[in-house]
């Protein structure tokens, strides 16, 4: 095994959380090695094509997805510098105050180890650094926070058409807050509304890790090793001693360190910990609680589509959403417990998993041509995203077999709870009613989908039933830190990345302050 | 012969994929590769015929756009480089078995019901059989789940016919690329 030079911190994964930690730690003067399973993407690689975009998705070892409602790993996972965030859509909503207090307020799920008020300053700081476009006042549902630094993005025909429907039903809409520049900001260009965000925004109008954290980390001296796939974390006397990985040539390497930051996503963080089992840690490293892998969550997705007489310009705008409606965010309702939100009028292309053709999978032949021709100018769409409560049986486990390094593959077992399914059905009906109220000639709904991955290594105050504390530090292994959306104890219904960054900022600043104690 | 990563990417950035025509290597788009009768690397001629005929029923124009050569090129690279929609659908790679399984099931179904391979069906018979496959419940279908096969092949055809700049042109939709895609994407 090749032994690498000792570093202060080894970070597993150069995705959203990993690149963020790498930049901060390197800028604080620490020597940092980042091990990333995928390629070293750069902005100039990002071709505007939904076909090309597939190359940004996970290309590593197989991840099996099972259960009654299998999680869509292939679509939801990224790899290479920037991780899934390189091709994320920049829809950045804060969680609601209630999301942090699910157990105390409703007797459901878990409480976070801190409340919204504690996280608010971190949201505000991230928002200022990144630059968010939106209209805080119009968002009647938004918890307290600084106004957005930029006005909202422009809206196009399909957003205006759907807005009519919400208004007719007495519901509210507001511009969707987006981590996309509506005007030049922080040295980055303004969006030009071409709808190619799914392939990664090469201009930097959409904030992703390639914009700031990856180049910032490199500039501050961090080393990113690409095609470096981490096998396990080694440990001795209760402390992590290093990371074993397979390098680009397949050679097994050992990277010693003072601190390990696992930022390999909500699926791979638990898989790596479970693969790091040893005599001292028979159930997996840092798993005294037995919670590693448990409480994995994803959002339910209901796509609602309509065809209008008017020209809706569905190809214009951004891949995320033009408008937001969170009238359904309240948790308690007759039709099922949990929140949902509407992402209104994402830009659509003819092809791709979220494209026009897929919405009418029943059509083929000349009928499919006719539909695509009409849809290209007259379609409108929106997505309901629903909350999934943490269920210990929804989990990341290790599958059968071992690769050449003795590593077992990750397997995700998932079923939406009855409540989550009831909320999904309710949102679907509401969406169809909105589309009809908007004047659509035809309205239809797509099948149940999944978006985002959260949980599996939950934060908590009690080491007996959580994996890490509120700063992402393992309760069991003092020099092991976890980062990313896997830390979420509950998921809410809002897209997770903004919250992930706020939590990561709080975690990395504490780590820098406490470095000597943690690394000792 | 599988394409190595460097060769594939070199072609990708120059706007084409390396095919072989009459033993001579050439950088071609799938459409050109079809027109010039470029060699297939992974699919057998019979598989290519069945998949092309099926794709053409699902979306007329897919054949001329080079569906078989497109699938063949994408199945000939490392799955991590593949651009096929199936990559999103949690089917374990490599996907050659899926496509060869669909081709085999198409021919076997056509043979049983009409006494000929799928590619030799009349237009009406092929259209009707595609409808049966789309329905998903096909007792005498022996391959990957029929409804799923319909979904995937149809998506491949849509990618090729409408997912490229010329497809957008045909729809009178501005492509507005930041960075122009390679010829196969
Ligand atoms: C299509 C799409 C659209 C999205 N849009 C939005 C949106 O609009 N708003 C929003 O809030 N969120 C969105 N997201 C979600 C967002 O991308 C994630 O929340 C975010 O990237 C999670 O960050 P992370 O650091 O936890 O994981 P990632 O960013 O995925 O990073 C994990 C990294 O770890 C690497 N890795 C994994 N295993 C190993 C290993 N064994 N060794 C070494 N490296 C490894 C991976 O290659 C990857 O680069 C979207 C996601 C997708 C797929
Ligand atoms: S629509 Fe805007 S954010 Fe999306 S890729 Fe284009 S410029 Fe970037």
Quote the ligand 1 centre to A268 CA distance (angstroms).
Answer: 11
DSSP type of residue A397: E
Tell me if A54 and B84 make a contact (CB, 8 A cut-off): yes
Write down the pLDDT at residue B148.
Answer: 98
**Ligand 2 pocket, residue A178 CB under 6 Å:** no
User: Which two tokens mark A437?
Assistant: 């109220």
Nearest CA to ligand 1 atom 47: A79
Task: Identify which of A199, A189, A303, A224 has the alpha carbon closest to the alpha carbon of residue A22.
Answer: A224
Write down the pLDDT at residue B184.
Answer: 52
How far apart are the CA of A380 and the nearest CA of chain B, in angstroms?
A: 15
Give the list of residues 6+ apart from residue B4 with CB closer than 8 angstroms, or none.
none
Whole-number CA gyration radius for chain B: 16
A379 pairs with which residues across the strands? Answer: A307
How far apart are the CA of A499 and the nearest CA of chain B, in angstroms?
A: 26
C-alpha A429/C-alpha A161 separation (Å) is 18
pLDDT in tens, A229-281: 999 999 999 999 999 999 999 999 999 999 999 999 999 999 999 999 999 99
Over residues A453-467, the mean pLDDT reads: 98
Quote the ligand 1 centre to A38 CA distance (angstroms).
Answer: 12
The yes-or-no verdict on residue A95 having pLDDT over 80 is yes
The yes-or-no verdict on residue B185 having pLDDT over 60 is no
Write down the pLDDT at residue B19.
Answer: 84
The yes-or-no verdict on residue A89 having pLDDT over 70 is yes
Nearest residue, CB atoms, A372 vs list B58, B134, B171: B171
| Strand pairing category for A323-325 and B17-21 | unpaired
**Nearest atom in ligand 1 to A76's CA:** 53
Cβ atoms within 10 Å, residue A223: 16
Write down the pLDDT at residue B10.
Answer: 46
Tell me if B184 and A47 make a contact (CB, 8 A cut-off): no
Over residues A279-295, the mean pLDDT reads: 98
How far apart are the CA of A427 and the nearest CA of chain B, in angstroms?
A: 25
Write down the pLDDT at residue B183.
Answer: 58
**Ligand 2 pocket, residue A179 CB under 6 Å:** no
C-alpha A520/C-alpha A330 separation (Å) is 46
Quote the ligand 2 centre to A445 CA distance (angstroms).
Answer: 27
The yes-or-no verdict on residue B20 having pLDDT over 90 is no
The yes-or-no verdict on residue B15 having pLDDT over 50 is no
Over residues A294-302, the mean pLDDT reads: 98
User: Which two tokens mark A11?
Assistant: 């970070």
Tell me if B171 and A373 make a contact (CB, 8 A cut-off): yes
pLDDT band at B26 (very low <50, low <70, confident <90, very high): confident
Ligand 1: list residues with CB < 6 Å: A 12-18, 35-38, 76, 78-80, 83-85, 87-92, 198, 229-230, 263-265, 268, 272, 320, 452, 484-485, 495-498, 500
Identify which of A188, A206, A208 to mutate to test ligand 2's pocket (most ligand atoms within 8 A of the CB). A206
Query: Which carries the bigger pLDDT value, residue A505 or residue B18?
Result: A505
Write down the pLDDT at residue B23.
Answer: 81
Mean pLDDT for chain A? 97
- Work out the angle between the directed axes of helices B123-135 and B96-114 (0-180°, nearest 10): 120
Query: Which numbered ligand comes closest to the C-alpha of A268?
Result: 1
pLDDT band at B1 (very low <50, low <70, confident <90, very high): very low
Write down the pLDDT at residue A177.
Answer: 98
pLDDT band at A520 (very low <50, low <70, confident <90, very high): confident
DSSP type of residue B90: T
Tell me the ipTM for this assembly: 0.95
The yes-or-no verdict on residue B82 having pLDDT over 60 is yes
The yes-or-no verdict on residue A468 having pLDDT over 70 is yes
Residue A262 in contact with residue A243, Cβ under 8 Å? no
């Amino acid at each position: 095994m090749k032994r690498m030079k000792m570093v202060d911190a080894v970070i597993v994964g150069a995705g959203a959380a990993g690149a963020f930690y790498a930049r901060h730690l390197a800028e604080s003067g620490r020597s940092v090695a980042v091990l990333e399973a995928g390629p070293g993407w750069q902005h100039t690689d990002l071709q505007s094509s939904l076909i090309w975009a597939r190359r940004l998705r996970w290309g590593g070892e197989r991840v099996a997805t099972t259960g009654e409602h299998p999680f869509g790993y292939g679509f939801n996972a990224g790899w290479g510098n920037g991780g899934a965030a390189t091709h994320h859509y920049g829809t950045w909503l804060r969680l609601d105050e209630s999301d942090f207090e699910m157990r105390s307020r409703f007797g459901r799920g878990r409480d976070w180890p801190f409340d919204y008020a504690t996280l608010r300053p971190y949201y505000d700081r991230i928002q200022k650094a990144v630059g968010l476009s939106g209209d805080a006042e119009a968002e009647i549902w938004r918890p307290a926070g600084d106004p957005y630094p930029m006005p909202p993005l422009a809206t196009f025909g399909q957003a205006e058409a759907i807005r009519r429907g919400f208004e007719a039903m007495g519901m509210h809409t507001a511009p969707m807050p987006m981590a996309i520049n509506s005007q030049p900001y922080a040295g980055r260009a303004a969006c030009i509304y071409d709808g190619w965000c799914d392939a990664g925004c090469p201009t930097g109008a959409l904030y992703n890790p390639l914009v700031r954290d990856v180049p910032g980390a490199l500039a501050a001296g961090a080393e990113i090793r690409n095609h470096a796939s981490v096998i396990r974390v080694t440990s001795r006397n209760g402390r992590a001693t290093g990371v074993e990985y397979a390098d680009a040539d397949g050679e097994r390497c050992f990277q010693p360190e003072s601190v390990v930051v696992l930022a390999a996503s909500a699926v791979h963080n638990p898989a790596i910990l479970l693969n790091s089992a040893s005599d001292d840690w028979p159930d997996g490293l840092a798993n005294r609680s037995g919670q590693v892998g448990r409480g994995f969550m994803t959002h339910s997705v209901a796509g609602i589509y309509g065809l209008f007489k008017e020209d809706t310009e569905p190809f214009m705008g951004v891949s995320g959403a033009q408008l937001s409606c969170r009238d359904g965010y309240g948790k308690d309702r007759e039709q099922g417990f949990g929140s949902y939100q509407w992402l209104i009028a994402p830009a659509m292309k003819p092809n791709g998993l979220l494209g026009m053709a897929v919405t009418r999978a029943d059509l083929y032949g000349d009928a499919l041509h006719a539909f695509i021709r009409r849809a290209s100018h007259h379609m409108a769409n929106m997505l309901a995203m629903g909350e999934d409560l943490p269920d210990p049986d929804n989990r990341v486990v290790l599958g059968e077999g071992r690769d050449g390094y003795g590593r077992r593959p990750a397997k995700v077992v998932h079923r939406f709870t009855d409540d989550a399914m009831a909320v999904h059905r309710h949102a679907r009906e509401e969406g169809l009613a909105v589309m009809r109220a908007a004047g659509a000639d035809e309205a239809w709904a797509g099948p149940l989908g999944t978006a985002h991955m959260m949980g599996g290594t939950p934060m908590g105050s009690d080491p007996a039933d959580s994996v890490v504390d509120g700063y992402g530090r393992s309760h069991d292994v003092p020099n092991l830190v976890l980062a990313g959306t896997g830390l979420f104890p509950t998921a809410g219904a809002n897209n997770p990345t903004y919250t992930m960054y706020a939590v990561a900022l709080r975690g990395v600043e504490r780590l820098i302050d406490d470095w000597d104690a943690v690394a000792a | 012969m599988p394409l190595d990563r460097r060769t594939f990417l070199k072609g990708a950035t120059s706007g084409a994929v390396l095919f072989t025509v009459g033993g001579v290597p050439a950088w071609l788009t799938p459409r050109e590769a079809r027109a010039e009768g470029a060699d297939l690397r992974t699919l057998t001629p019979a598989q290519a015929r069945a998949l092309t005929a099926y794709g053409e029923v699902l979306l007329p124009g897919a054949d001329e756009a080079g569906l078989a050569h497109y699938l063949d090129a994408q199945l000939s690279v490392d799955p991590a480089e593949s651009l096929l929609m199936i990559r999103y659908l949690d089917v374990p790679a490599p996907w050659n078995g899926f496509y060869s399984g669909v081709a085999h099931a198409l021919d076997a179904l056509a043979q049983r019901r009409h006494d000929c391979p799928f590619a030799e069906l009349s237009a009406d018979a092929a259209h009707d059989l595609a409808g049966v496959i789309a329905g998903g419940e096909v007792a005498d279908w022996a391959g990957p789940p029929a409804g799923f096969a319909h979904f995937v092949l149809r998506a491949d055809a849509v990618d090729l016919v409408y997912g490229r700049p010329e497809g957008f042109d045909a729809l009178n939709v501005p492509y507005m690329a930041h960075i122009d895609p390679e010829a196969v994407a």
